[in-house]
Structure 1
Amino acid sequence: MNEEKKLEGISGWLILIAIGIVLTPFRIIILCVTTYSDVFSTEVWEALTTPGAEMYHFLWAPIIIGEILINSGLLLAWLYMAYLFFTKNRDFPKCYISIAIFSLLFIIADAFAIKLVLPNESVFDPDTIKELTRSLVMVIIWVPYMLVSKRVKATFIKK
């Protein structure tokens, strides 16, 4: 049995990637539901987006809507990435790298956008630090793995 055949398949470190790919869509859904259900089920949306209200800022609506749209796009991207992963499609590593880097940049950009609205608050609150750390670890560890792993090169070969 040659080395490439031995390395082909979803095993080794790819099992951790598989777990992340399966869990991430659920994590995004839970994050969105817990974050935005309060915004839209109470008077929070009106307080943030009604001119003259105490908490009003003209950027709240675009930030919240942008977050919802981007998180919805990320959810779809992760579902597509799961398809690529489990079909062992050769586009999977590029897709994974792109989404990992985009997610990191989105968290940073979103934190600074919120800072524009809440200038007296810290740029990185505990929840943002947690998400940033998770995303940074993903980029630091898994992006290089996607680029250099012999198992990745042997597994993701289908068109």
Structure 2
Amino acid sequence: MIPVGIGIVVNPILFLVVIIVIHIPLILNGTLSIVYYSDSTKFFIILYELGVNIAALVYSVFILVLFFTKKKSFPRHYIIFTIYNFVILLVDTIIGNKLWSDGDYTDVARVLVSGAIWCTYMLKSWRVKNTFVN
């Protein structure tokens, strides 16, 4: 459970950093409005990315609370979040291949394999069943 716990604590921080370092400067320095007028497809992709990262930030904080309060619903929400991350990464990679030819499926495979391992652990482990009881 320690690797899961570390990941759960780090996830909200990573999503917050991505929003602060990538998305907020695009909005504040006017790049987003320039992209809006020059290429509406890329504009909507940037908005999609921002929305996805905000949703992931909020949900990862929710999962963090479930984890530390040992809620019975934690394993289910962890699995949902893992699937969400996989789908979003897959969509990002496909879009990257279509628009910029730089999508790399190595990360998709890594997330799929690690997600399958941890989701199976969440479903089958007695330790998980005995820990998350509230």
TM class, shorter-chain normalised?
0.7 to 0.9
CA RMSD in angstroms comes to 2.1
Give the aligned length.
Answer: 134
Q: 1:45 to 1:23 in 2, by over 3 A?
A: same
Q: 1:99 to 1:87 in 2, by over 3 A?
A: same
Selected match of 1:123 from 89, 103, 113:
103
- 2:125 pairs with 1:156: no
CA contact (8 A) 1:57 1:117 kept: no
- 2:15 pairs with 1:35: no
What percent identity do the matched residue pairs reach? 27
Higher RCO (CA 8 Å, separation ≥ 6 residues): 1
Cα offset, 1:83, TM superposition: 0.8
Give the gaps of 5 or more residues in structure 1.
Answer: 1-13, 51-55
Partner of 1:74: 56
Of structures 1 and 2, the larger Rg is shown by 1
Amino acid at match of 1:141: I
For normalisation by structure 1, the TM-score amounts to 0.74
For normalisation by structure 2, the TM-score amounts to 0.86
CA contact (8 A) 1:59 1:117 kept: no
Which structure features the higher share of helix residues?
A: 2
